[in-house]
Amino acid sequence: MSMKILREIIRIVLGATFVFSGFVKAIDPLGSAYKFTDYFTAFGTDWASAFSLFLSIVLSLAEYGVGVAMLINYKVKLFSWLTLVFMAIFFPLTLWIAIKNPVTDCGCFGDAIIISNWATFYKNIVLMAFAIFVVVNRNQYSNRLKPLYQHSVFIASLILLVSVQFYGLNHLPIIDFRPYKIGNNIIEGMQVPEGAPQDIYENQFTYKNKQTGKLQKFTDSDYPWQDTLHWEYVEMNSKLVKSGYHPPIHDFTIENSYGEDVADFFLHSENYTLMLISYNLEKSNKKRQNEINTLASEALSKGWNFICLTAATSEDIIQFELQYDPSYEIFSCDEITLKTIIRSNPGLMLTHQGTILDKWHWRDIPEFEKISSLYAD
């Protein structure tokens, strides 16, 4: 392979990776914002969470822009350095995340591709090498396209991405990579296949030598649990050494005021079920609450199920009921689960026997007549 072909392959691979990473984040800006919040919580800087959405938008736009520039060979001398700056930031950061494991998923490819923290770091080793290679060879890249064409493609690409971000924020993501996407069945998503591998843990026991007072660590095979004359038990720590199969949906519950999980009733119901999703009732948008109440009353009168799922406190639920007098019952669900189900507060999800038929942002919730005409028998 000639050096010229190698230069082009590395440039294209580097650019395509940045374009993909930026695009999947831009599709779901709220999802990326939630990931930033997770990081800030892990770092003990919760005050920075106020900037999560802004950083989500800026990061995806910057990644995408750098990637497009590399793909179309646009101002390579400038953007090769910007690529290297990106990697100089991400490389040590992902190494620290891999070692400390403050979050289980780095979110580098949004919800499109979930990889481990160590896999993310190994990926960045390759990208770092590619970025250095492009910088070293930056003077060897020549533009074959007319400058006006390159300018136009670059600017049009950024406008497209901003449009995708705007739509994702004001409606729902144009592509849903989450386990609660339309067409998926929640019941099936919670099942573990027969014979699926289980998590494997390694236990480490700490004992104190009664004669010397020194602490010593043992494994399952050699810990001195019977030798109480010489050893005193201190503690046991379990470490996950091999992850088994985890179903894509593992935390979906619908709890009533008594703490009972009644999810099976609604997931197996032969009637259509509309779920109003509001992870925080206090912060939910109330502009269409009266219309939602009307929709709920009409649905219930036709024999449909209509419920609200929230992570709000009992006090907030009582306050909400006093203020808006909903005709539907409000149940509790995990906040992260609700944020994963729909990127809207509130949002509406339609299910039938566990299958997700449709989802709507609060701005797009239709009247019951339209919903029933589409899905009712």
Output the pLDDT for position 251: 84
Share of the chain above pLDDT 70, in %: 99
> What residues does 207 pair with on adjacent strands?
216, 233
Where does the pLDDT of residue 1 fall: very low under 50, low under 70, confident under 90, or very high at 90 and above? low
CA distance 39 to 43: 6
Q: Which two tokens stand for residue 36?
A: 């930033």
Where does the pLDDT of residue 293 fall: very low under 50, low under 70, confident under 90, or very high at 90 and above? very high
Output the pLDDT for position 22: 93
Q: Is the pLDDT of residue 143 over 80?
A: no
CA pseudo-torsion sign 43, 48, 53, 54: negative
> What residues does 201 pair with on adjacent strands?
240
Domains of the chain plus CATH, in order, are 3-170 (no CATH), 200-242 (no CATH), 263-375 (3.40.30.10)
CA distance 348 to 368: 12
Parallel/antiparallel/unpaired status of strands 272-278 and 305-310: parallel
Residue type, 362: W
What is the rounded average pLDDT of the residues 6-17?
90
Output the pLDDT for position 41: 84
CA distance 3 to 5: 6
Q: Which residue has the higher pLDDT, 98 or 30?
A: 30
Q: Is the pLDDT of residue 104 over 90?
A: no
Q: Is the pLDDT of residue 9 over 80?
A: yes
What's the number of CA atoms in the CB half-sphere (13 Å) around residue 300? 14
Question: Dihedral, CA atoms, 247, 116, 107, 357, nearest 10 degrees?
Answer: -20
Share of the chain above pLDDT 90, in %: 56
Q: Is the pLDDT of residue 96 over 80?
A: yes
Question: Dihedral, CA atoms, 366, 369, 370, 373, nearest 10 degrees?
Answer: 150
Helices 76-100 and 117-136: angle between axes, nearest 10 degrees? 160
Output the pLDDT for position 262: 94
User: Looking at 85-94, 100-109, 164-173, 270-279, which range is the least confident one?
Assistant: 100-109
Where does the pLDDT of residue 232 fall: very low under 50, low under 70, confident under 90, or very high at 90 and above? confident
User: Looking at 22-36, 234-248, 307-321, which range is the least confident one?
Assistant: 234-248
Q: Are 73 and 144 in contact (CB under 8 A)?
A: yes
Where does the pLDDT of residue 280 fall: very low under 50, low under 70, confident under 90, or very high at 90 and above? very high
> What residues does 352 pair with on adjacent strands?
272, 355
Output the pLDDT for position 49: 86
Q: Is the pLDDT of residue 88 over 80?
A: yes
What is the rounded average pLDDT of the residues 310-324?
93
Contacts of 92-100 with CB under 8 Å at 24 or more apart are: 94/120, 94/121, 94/124, 95/121, 97/121
Burial 47-63 (b: 16+ CB within 10 A, else e): eebeebbebbbebbbeb
Parallel/antiparallel/unpaired status of strands 272-278 and 347-352: antiparallel
CA distance 149 to 117: 39
CA distance 161 to 138: 26
Output the pLDDT for position 14: 92
CA distance 74 to 323: 57
Which residues lie closer than 8 Å to 58 by C-beta, 6 or more apart?
Answer: none
